[in-house]
């Protein structure tokens, strides 16, 4: 009998996690399968408890459920500090973790970006922004948070111990930043024309990291290229956060190249 894993979120149709994890399970000959499930916030607790009752091995949690999941699981100290959960282990209880921050850090490292000492501007104040903000601040970056609702940016920044601003400061802060991170859903399929910033707001010494991976070449990255900036898409963050979740669930080292190739193939299809 196969062990079932899955990702919960809404919208969920765009998720590449099933292709990625199922490829890893096949590569390793594991009797496991991974599915995507559309779940709204009001049904999240029922979904998690139902998955545990049905013997699921684990879950990923995506937008807009990451912060709500914290109230349902037994969270580890990092996820508790971040205030958001993206991975749930259902072996012997309901244990919550957050692998987004390490996924983002490893994705930037792959691109040759060491965040220690870098001025990092994060746009967004949701679950992904929280994870990246805590992780990067801990690793020595000078973090700034900008959000459409300024109060949310200020609250998140205060929790991390950094500065938070409203969107009216965006252009000024991009000018000061070494790294700009889109931690919102802006530009995600199907709203692919959306972008948090325009080319004239950027500078050539900027690294622009968009956590959106579908499409791979978002409007933000198109704007970054036109400005002469370095652009990094969200594919490797997806892969690395998924690889860490895989380790948590199974205790097995994941085949990262297989997972990456599965995501790239699915995105091209």
Q: Do 190 and 166 lie in a common domain?
A: yes
pLDDT score at 75? 97
Specify whether 112 is located in the same domain as 142: yes
With cut-offs at 50, 70 and 90, classify the pLDDT of residue 214: confident
Same domain, 109 and 222: yes
Q: Which domain holds residue 94?
A: 3-98+236-268
Whether residues 167 and 133 fall in one domain = yes
Query: DSSP labels for 12-36?
Result: -TT--HHHHHHHHHHHHT-SEEEEE
Q: Are residues 146 and 40 in the same domain?
A: no
First to last CA, the chain: 30
pLDDT per residue over 103-140, tens digit each?
Answer: 999 999 999 999 999 999 999 998 899 999 999 999 99
Catalytic residue flag (residue 66): yes
pLDDT band at 190 (very low <50, low <70, confident <90, very high): confident
**Number of domains comprising the chain:** 2
- pLDDT for the residue numbered 27: 98
**pLDDT > 90? residue 20:** yes
* Of 57, 62, 66, 121, catalytic: 66
**Model's pTM, two decimal places?**
0.92
Q: What is the CATH number of the domain that holds 91?
A: 3.40.50.10860
């Amino acid at each position: 009998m196969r062990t079932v894993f899955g990702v919960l979120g809404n919208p969920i149709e765009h998720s590449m996690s099933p292709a990625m994890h199922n490829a890893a399970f096949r590569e390793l000959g594991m009797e496991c399968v991974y599915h995507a499930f559309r779940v709204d916030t009001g049904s999240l607790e029922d979904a998690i408890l139902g998955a545990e009752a049905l013997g699921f091995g684990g879950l990923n949690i995506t937008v807009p459920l990451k912060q709500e999941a914290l109230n349902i699981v037994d969270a580890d100290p990092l996820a508790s500090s971040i205030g958001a959960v993206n991975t749930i282990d259902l072996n012997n209880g309901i244990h919550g973790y957050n692998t987004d921050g390490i996924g983002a850090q490893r994705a930037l490292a792959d691109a040759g970006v060491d965040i220690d000492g870098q001025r990092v501007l994060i746009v967004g104040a949701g679950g992904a922004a929280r994870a990246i903000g805590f992780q990067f601040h801990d690793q020595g970056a000078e973090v700034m948070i900008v959000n459409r609702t300024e109060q949310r940016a200020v609250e998140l920044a205060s929790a991390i111990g950094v500065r938070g601003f409203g969107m009216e400061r965006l252009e000024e802060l991009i000018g000061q930043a070494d790294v700009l991170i889109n931690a919102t859903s802006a530009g995600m399929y199907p709203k692919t024309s959306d972008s948090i910033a325009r080319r004239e707001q950027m500078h050539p010494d900027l690294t622009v990291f968009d956590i959106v991976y579908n499409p791979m070449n978002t409007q933000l990255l198109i704007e970054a290229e036109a400005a002469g900036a370095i652009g990094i898409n969200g594919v490797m963050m997806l892969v690395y956060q998924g690889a860490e979740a895989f380790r948590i669930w199974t205790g097995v080292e994941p085949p990262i190249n297989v997972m990456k190739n599965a995501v790239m193939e699915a995105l091209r299809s």
